[in-house]
Amino acid sequence: EVQLLESGGGLVPPGGSLRLSCASSRFTFNTFAMSWVRQAPGKGLEWVSSISGFGGTISYSDSVRGRFTISRDNSKNTLYLQMNSLRADDTAVYFCAQGRVGLTFPFDSWGQGTLVSVSS
Amino acid sequence: EIVLTQSPGTLSLSPGERATLSCRASQSVSSNYLAWYQQKPGRAPRLLIYDASNRATGIPDRFSGSGSGTDFTLTISRLEPEDFAVYYCQQYGNSPFGTFGQGTKVEIK
């Protein structure tokens, strides 16, 4: 069973930037698509972004397109989310998630989440 | 953009009872690419069902998914104490892929 461990969350002022990381224990990391999903306090789940195994296919939700950038370093078994121009409504727990074998969706493994708070 | 509407918002039941959760899509979900997740407070979601009716690895057979097109159902045949949680549906058949419903909370009556 894969272990996913997010890091990089914290408190940032509006307009600021933050980079999240997600380290995978899976040896064959590059064969799995990865995604970020967020959950605002007390709210439901929102898909944010996905990236294919070798990074050739990337997609974003409308709410983050142009501000967030997903990437991965397969040599380090690590997924990233660069978040720029942060707004108060970006405040959420951010989960990284792994797709089923050969697929982007659905997500059969999740990290424990990292909290991003955007506030002055 | 496809919208998933889950009902009811909250379901109050007793252990041993049957739970029926609904997920309705604003347009037909291609290839019935719909999943169900369970989330407990402070925890990450867990995949229960994929492709509308296939149980994920390790999921007990009291959980079952059904439906097609725009109407999907998650059924828990006999609620166990550990089943009280929030349940989300997610579609991945139509762009934008990966959208979730707003969730149904199953609480102890």
Residue of A105, A93, A102 whose CA lies nearest to A50:
A105
Give the DSSP letter of residue A5. Answer: E
Contact A104, A35 (CB under 8 A): yes
Express each pLDDT in A54-89 by its tens digit.
999 999 999 999 999 999 999 999 999 999 999 999
Say if B100 is an interface residue toward chain A (CB within 8 Å). yes
The Cα B38–Cα B93 span in angstroms is: 20
Reported as a pLDDT band with limits 50, 70 and 90, residue A115 is very high
Reported as a pLDDT band with limits 50, 70 and 90, residue B103 is very high
Which residue does chain B place closest to A37, by CA atoms? B98
Give the DSSP letter of residue A90. Answer: G
| Rounded mean pLDDT, A87-113 | 95
Asked whether the predicted pLDDT for residue A98 surpasses 90, the reply is yes
Which residues in B lie closer than 8 A to residue A112 (C-beta atoms)?
Answer: 43-44
Residue of A91, A111, A115 whose CA lies nearest to A10:
A115
Asked whether the predicted pLDDT for residue A1 surpasses 90, the reply is no
Sheet of A78-83: strand order equals: A4-7, A18-24, A78-83, A68-73
Is A105 in Cβ contact with B90 (below 8 Å)? yes
Asked whether the predicted pLDDT for residue A100 surpasses 90, the reply is no
| Rounded mean pLDDT, B57-83 | 97
Asked whether the predicted pLDDT for residue A94 surpasses 90, the reply is yes
The Cα A106–Cα A23 span in angstroms is: 19
Percentage of chain A exceeding pLDDT 90: 90
Average pLDDT of the residues of chain B: 97
The Cα B39–Cα B52 span in angstroms is: 18
* E-only strand ranges, B14-62: 19-25, 34-39, 46-50, 54-55
For residue A82, the distance in angstroms to the closest alpha carbon of chain B comes to: 20
Say if B97 is an interface residue toward chain A (CB within 8 Å). yes
- Cβ neighbors of A55 (< 8 A, separation 6 or more) are A71, A72
The Cα A2–Cα A17 span in angstroms is: 29
For residue A39, the model assigns a pLDDT of 98
Sheet of B19-25: strand order equals: B4-7, B19-25, B71-76, B63-68
For residue A102, the model assigns a pLDDT of 83
Which residues of A touch chain B, with CB atoms under 8 Å apart?
Answer: 35, 37, 44-47, 50, 59, 61-62, 95, 100, 104-108, 110-113
Express each pLDDT in B24-42 by its tens digit.
999 999 999 999 999 999 9
Average pLDDT of the residues of chain A: 96
| Rounded mean pLDDT, B54-69 | 97
Reported as a pLDDT band with limits 50, 70 and 90, residue B70 is very high
Which residue does chain A place closest to B49, by CA atoms? A106
Contact A77, A26 (CB under 8 A): yes
> Considering only residues 45 to 74 of chain B, which have any Cβ-Cβ distance to chain A shorter than 8 Å?
45-47, 50, 56-57
Reported as a pLDDT band with limits 50, 70 and 90, residue A27 is confident
